[in-house]
Amino acid sequence: MTTFADMTSVHVHETADARFRVLQGGNGPDIVWVPGGDSPAHYWSEQFEFFHSDLRSTAYDPRGAGETTSAPPPWSMKQFGDDCAGIIEAFCSPPVILAGLSMGSLITQQVAIDHPHLVRLAIVMGTSARITGFTRDWMAAEIQARVDGSLAMPPDFAACHYAAFAYPANALEDDALWERIKAAYTPRFADRDPQMLIAQWQACLDYDVTAALADCPVPIHAVAFSEDIQTPPRLVRRVAEAARHGHYHELPGLGHVSLNRHAPRTVNTFLASLIAEHADNQRQADTGTAG
């Protein structure tokens, strides 16, 4: 049986102040998967496997996660975007499809705004143009608790805490699925460096591209999940409304991280249809056969 490790190659991308771990695998046009906060490249393994025959997938560990090392924080979202752009230029044949989740979707928007020549289609899931309301208060409170040194979660509690923000009730009620989530989340958050979490999350809170999206020439498809607590559909819809070429989609019954473990085939099949539709529209535009 072919494993994720068998179908990917590992590369290193070095810049003046960072050294990134990059994974790549598959065949076809380039798609770059940008991880969310606290997440390394291999969290896209189910997408690498699903699209292996049709697309060449690339993902990387961003600053503050995985095996990537860099100059110490603070970091800005513009810096995160420039990191991604450099990896696209080094390992892909742009323009690429760029897809991100959570913090990765903010990075995706930043690349589309600052480096539009590198992106032909941006797919942003669980996203926002500016974090507001409950999501902002929750993230700010977690940051401040770590700054104060007053938040110390035992690994088993952290697994439950973050799983509740990541998955909908219809996933967490599945005992077998919960055992898989718990097995992954417990070590993940047991070893999490609080300073790296602070640096990534603060960049997200400082982020506001509401105005810049209006001038972005890249088609942006904003994908919401109806049961997403971290980035409720209202935040995602605002991205589509602000973007010059924005499109809004909402998938029912899914949570912030349902594309991993819970319902990856549902999300991947939807993404494949989006990508195919964009390719068809582009062919029609290129040949003058649209409409």
Examine residue 142 and state whether it is found in any structural domain, yes or no.
Answer: no
pLDDT of residue 94: 97
**Bridge partner residues of 123 (DSSP):** 99, 221
pLDDT at 289 over 80: no
Examine residue 164 and state whether it is found in any structural domain, yes or no.
Answer: no
Q: Worst-scoring range by mean pLDDT, 63-67, 232-236, 265-269?
A: 63-67
C-alpha to C-alpha distances, 233 to 127, 224, 238, nearest whole angstrom? 9, 5, 9
pLDDT of residue 290: 52
For the chain, give me the number of helices (H) and strands (E)?
A: 10, 9
**Which residue segment(s) compose the domain that 112 sits in?**
9-131+207-287
- Closest by alpha carbon to 20, among 73, 90, 74? 90
Examine residue 121 and state whether it is found in any structural domain, yes or no.
Answer: yes
Examine residue 170 and state whether it is found in any structural domain, yes or no.
Answer: no
Q: Which residues of 128-150 are buried (b: 16+ CB within 10 A; e: fewer)?
A: bbbbeeebeeebeebbeebeeee
SS3 20: strand
Alpha-carbon dihedral angle through residues 68, 232, 208, 216, given to the nearest 10 degrees: 90
Examine residue 90 and state whether it is found in any structural domain, yes or no.
Answer: yes
Examine residue 201 and state whether it is found in any structural domain, yes or no.
Answer: no
pLDDT of residue 279: 87
How many domains are there within the chain? 1
Instruction: Report the distance separating Cα 121 and Cα 113, nearest Å.
Output: 12
Examine residue 21 and state whether it is found in any structural domain, yes or no.
Answer: yes
Examine residue 197 and state whether it is found in any structural domain, yes or no.
Answer: no
Residue 36 sits in a domain whose CATH number is 3.40.50.1820
The single residue listed with the structure tokens 């993404």 is 271
pLDDT tens column, 45-89: 999 999 999 999 999 999 999 999 999 999 999 999 999 999 999
Phi, psi of 197, deg, nearest 5: -60, -45
pLDDT tens column, 142-200: 999 989 887 778 899 999 999 999 999 999 999 999 999 999 999 988 778 889 999 99
pLDDT at 291 over 70: no
